[in-house]
Structures are given as C-alpha cells and as structure tokens.
Amino acid sequence: MNEAQVDLQQLRIKHILFKSKVRSVLYGGTYDEFFFSSSGPIGTWFSAVGRVKYASVPEIIKLSQIHNALSLTAAKLFQLYKRGLIEQAHEGLKEIDKSSDLFLSLLARLETRLAAT
C-alpha cells in the first residue's frame, strides 16, 4: 500500500465515522460540536493532508465539496431533530446516504488512480 492509499484510507475511515455519528445523533446520541466543526477530523484531514499533498488533484476538491454539503445537510437534520421533527430528520438520512455513496465512489476511483502511480 503506497502513501496515497494510506492517506485515502484514513479519509474513508473518517468519513464512515462522520456518517455513523450523524445517524447516532439523530437516534438520540450525543452531539459532538468539535467533531462536526471544520476543526474536526475530516476538516483537519483536508487542511493538513488533502490540500497539502494533493492540492493538484481535482477529486480532492470535489471530495471536500461533497463533505461540506454533507456537513450542511447534517446540520439541517440536527435542527429538525432538536425541533422535535424526528421523522423528517430520519427521512433526511436518505440524502446523507446518497451523498455518502457519491463520496465513497469518488474516493475509490481516486484511490485506484493514485495506486497506479
């Protein structure tokens, strides 16, 4: 496994944890403000690794954009949940899943491409 694969595997793990934590909060778990902030694990990965080592890789920019959209969607779902609109918040998980699938698909394609170099 080369360095790029390790870096992207770390991003994959952080993304899966993000998605899991969103689901957890919407099913009554504790909201972790730091985790969901731009200083959390994924934001830190993009600023310390993604935009440093892979600044010239267009997919990294797209992955960052998808993650930002996921974060905005999650924040909206958290607000719905706080307002007692639990069913609507749960329904919104479909959008999280769809964006997550796109993120993971793009990440897999990028990993394959970078593994060949």
Confidence at residue 115, expressed as pLDDT on a 0 to 100 scale: 80
Q: How far apart are the first and last CA of the chain?
A: 12
Confidence at residue 1, expressed as pLDDT on a 0 to 100 scale: 67
Q: Distance between CA 67 and CA 71 in Å, rounded?
A: 6
Confidence at residue 114, expressed as pLDDT on a 0 to 100 scale: 84
Confidence at residue 2, expressed as pLDDT on a 0 to 100 scale: 86
Q: Looking at this protein, which amino acid is placed at residue 85?
A: L
How distant is the alpha carbon of residue 37 from its chain centre? Answer: 12
Residues of the chain with pLDDT under 50: none
Q: What is the pTM of this model?
A: 0.93
